[in-house]
Chains A and B, each alone.
Chain A
Amino acid sequence: MSAIVITVDGDRLPARAGMTVAAALIAADRPELRRSPRAGTPRGVHCGMGHCFECLVTIDGTPDRRACLVEVSDGMTVETSR
């Protein structure tokens, strides 16, 4: 488990190689990832296994990536839409 650094909404955060982006965000106490489409309510990780699409974030410039499926890598850039 090597320590790495990712950038989330401009902030540099520590993470461990191999953990998911969702886990890195939760470990950094950033549970809110986006707002719901109609009511605009805060949303975070829900199913944690790729089928609910609640945890969509932009990763290294690619939008609509599921944070619960993608593993972090050193220097990764994550943008939430909170």
Chain B
Amino acid sequence: MNSSTLSFAGKASTGHSHAPSKDPGVEPFSCDVCVVGAGAAGLSAAHAAAACGTSVVVLDAFPRPGGQYYMQPPAAPLASAKAMRQVTDGAALIAEAERAGARILPGREVWGVFPGGGQPERGTSAAAPSDAGGFTLHADGDGGAVRVTARAIVVATGAHDRVVPFPGWTLPGVMPPGAGQRLAKLSGTPPGRRTLIAGSGAFLLPVASSILKAGGEIAAIFEADNRVLAAAGIVARNPSIWGELARLARPLFRAEFEVHRGAVVVAALGDDRVRAARLAPLDTSGTPDLAQTFEIDDIDALLVGYGFRPHVELTDALGCTHDFDEAAGGWICRAAPDTFATTVAGVFAAGETTGIAGSRPALLSGRIAGLAAAESLGFGDTSGERRYLVERRRRPAAFAAALATHFTPPAGLAAAITNDTVMCRCEDVTAGEVRAALADGADDAFGAKLWSRAGMGLCQGRVCGFGLARLIAAERGIDPEEVGFNTPRLPLRPVKLSTMQAALKE
């Protein structure tokens, strides 16, 4: 039981190439613990599990490990000491995990997961633990197709921007803040010459700073939340973040950009690209007052987002139970606080997958999950260290939770969604079509998808899911939780049929 079983059938290329291989050969790996996601939580989990003696394979979709917070830029100049520290801390995490024996395979997106030794049972579209135990994960990408059999899985797939559609949001130049951050931090490129940032959340400030450092101009930031004093109270009670906040606020004092509060973007304007934004103040119910709109022009980039949503496709495909917590990101994977074990035996989840909390809680939950996964396979007793980590995580997690309640998306945002607003970008489904589906009898996210195709495209509703839930909830006068969410379909990411065939046949 206590022996490591990492085996490599061939030499894997851990680098990235510029063209996908024409040969759909699938490289097999076998390990004790497969970690999905090489960000803060995943790297931390991989390191912990490997240090316990388990064999660990880490799969990550991006060309380089590091995730979002510890992004490893190959080309961008590191414009500040803090940016430099994030990169070097990330590099150290990667090195530590590898030194402990974890095998990191970047450039591989998981497109399928099945219980047991590899072959899907006829008729199953999602995995559940089989009697034999273990799982088979299939991943593909520029790193090359792989098939990983693992005795346990740690899902640390992170999060993506939470967006709500508005008229014009499909125009080139309109992106969520996370996209602007990646462009600036990873490539040293601002999202445009002059960028307007709007939405909600503590993330908007660092995005503005990154864009300034990349040479872009910030028209302004519009933060929807206007409870300045309450937010200040939360900050005052958490001295550990004062330094970072002072650094982030420095451009404010230098008047490099202005932060306005209490208004949201209700339309992006432009013909073939964004040229201006229309905003409206929020009334006391959190509904934009469309009688009092104003415009900000002379922009070529518009970043709008309302915090983040966890990536829960993999945990959902694995059959894990999810709970609804709007402040923590919406649908989050349920995990036990002392092990980060999900409701499915052998599956652990860590980091943002279990609720948006930021990098520090993610590092700690990753470590807890990695230790617990190793322990579940017979690699020692980790309960003492886990108890200590749970205690250490309490404060930063509570801070994140308190702050998050301030930045939940305004309740009445759907009021700005006109009938010709595109809801589902993949399938070009408008709000009018969704409303018609609801009038015809669709009453939840699944019904809306079947009736209108909203959420049926390549992104599987990752982009439109939150906005659709808000629209359906507003139209029906119900809670977004009641709208539910659409279970992802395999393949979770587009994959060539030849690759799929090779992966499932071998």
Interface of A is mostly: loop
**Chain B residues in 8 Å Cβ range of A49:** 62, 68, 160, 178-179, 182
Q: Which of A28-60 contact B (CB under 8 A)?
A: 29, 31-33, 36-39, 41-54, 59-60
Q: Which of B18, B61, B428 contacts A76 (CB 8 A)?
A: B18
Which chain A residue shows the least CB distance to B453? A38
Report yes or no: A60 in contact with B19, Cβ–Cβ below 8 A. yes
Which chain A residue shows the least CB distance to B311? A51
**Distance in angstroms between the alpha carbons of A39 and B458 in the assembled complex:** 17
**Chain B residues in 8 Å Cβ range of A38:** 427-428
Report yes or no: B273 in contact with A71, Cβ–Cβ below 8 A. no
Report yes or no: B192 in contact with A1, Cβ–Cβ below 8 A. no
- What band does the interface of chain B fall in when counting residues whose beta carbon is under 8 Å from A? 35 or more
Whether A53 contacts B459 in the complex (CB less than 8 A), given A1-B75, A71-B63, comes out as yes
A8 within 8 Å of B by Cβ?
no
**Distance in angstroms between the alpha carbons of A71 and B191 in the assembled complex:** 17
Q: Which of B336-373 contact A (CB under 8 A)?
A: none
CB distance from A26 to the nearest CB of B (A): 6
Report yes or no: A47 in contact with B463, Cβ–Cβ below 8 A. yes
**Distance in angstroms between the alpha carbons of A39 and B170 in the assembled complex:** 11
Report yes or no: B19 in contact with A42, Cβ–Cβ below 8 A. no
**Distance in angstroms between the alpha carbons of A48 and B191 in the assembled complex:** 10
A7 within 8 Å of B by Cβ?
no
Q: Which of A1-26 contact B (CB under 8 A)?
A: 1, 16-20, 22-24, 26
Report yes or no: A20 in contact with B187, Cβ–Cβ below 8 A. yes
Q: Which of A18, A32, A37, A45 contacts B272 (CB 8 A)?
A: A32
CB distance from A18 to the nearest CB of B (A): 3
Whether A52 contacts B18 in the complex (CB less than 8 A), given A17-B75, A46-B425, comes out as no
Report yes or no: B20 in contact with A62, Cβ–Cβ below 8 A. yes
Q: Which of A20, A42, A50, A68 contacts B172 (CB 8 A)?
A: A42
Whether A48 contacts B180 in the complex (CB less than 8 A), given A19-B76, A26-B192, A70-B18, comes out as yes
Q: Which of B109-154 contact A (CB under 8 A)?
A: 109, 142
**Distance in angstroms between the alpha carbons of A32 and B191 in the assembled complex:** 13
Whether A42 contacts B179 in the complex (CB less than 8 A), given A33-B172, A49-B160, A71-B74, comes out as no
CB distance from A42 to the nearest CB of B (A): 5
**Distance in angstroms between the alpha carbons of A33 and B425 in the assembled complex:** 14
B410 within 8 Å of A by Cβ?
no
Which chain A residue shows the least CB distance to B73? A18
Q: Which of A16, A53, A60, A76 contacts B458 (CB 8 A)?
A: A53
**Distance in angstroms between the alpha carbons of A51 and B141 in the assembled complex:** 13
Report yes or no: A36 in contact with B189, Cβ–Cβ below 8 A. no
**Chain A residues in 8 Å Cβ range of B262:** none
Contact code string B159-183 (vs A, CB < 8 Å = 1, else 0) = 0110000000011111110111011
Question: A16, A18, A41, A51: which has the most chain B beta carbons within 10 Å?
Answer: A51
Q: Which of B20-41 contact A (CB under 8 A)?
A: 20
**Chain A residues in 8 Å Cβ range of B75:** 1, 16-19, 71
CB distance from A46 to the nearest CB of B (A): 6
Report yes or no: B459 in contact with A52, Cβ–Cβ below 8 A. yes
Q: Which of B55-93 contact A (CB under 8 A)?
A: 61-63, 68, 73-77
CB distance from B262 to the nearest CB of A (A): 27
Report yes or no: B425 in contact with A36, Cβ–Cβ below 8 A. yes
**Chain B residues in 8 Å Cβ range of A59:** 18-19
Please give me the 9 A-B residue pairs with the lowest Cβ-Cβ distance, nearest first.
Answer: A18-B75, A48-B179, A44-B172, A23-B187, A18-B74, A38-B428, A19-B187, A31-B172, A23-B189
15 A-B pairs in the complex with CB atoms less than 8 angstroms apart:
A1-B188, A24-B187, A24-B189, A27-B187, A29-B193, A32-B272, A33-B172, A36-B170, A39-B428, A41-B422, A41-B428, A46-B174, A46-B175, A51-B459, A53-B457
Binding site for A on B (CB under 8 A): 16, 18-20, 61-63, 68, 73-77, 109, 142, 160-161, 170-176, 178-180, 182-183, 186-189, 191-193, 272-273, 300, 311, 422, 425-428, 457-459, 462-463, 494
Q: A41-B170, A51-B462, A69-B61 are in contact. List 6 more A-B contacts (CB 8 A).
A: A36-B422, A39-B422, A41-B428, A46-B425, A49-B179, A50-B62
Binding site for B on A (CB under 8 A): 1, 16-20, 22-24, 26-27, 29, 31-33, 36-39, 41-54, 59-60, 62, 64, 68-71, 73, 76
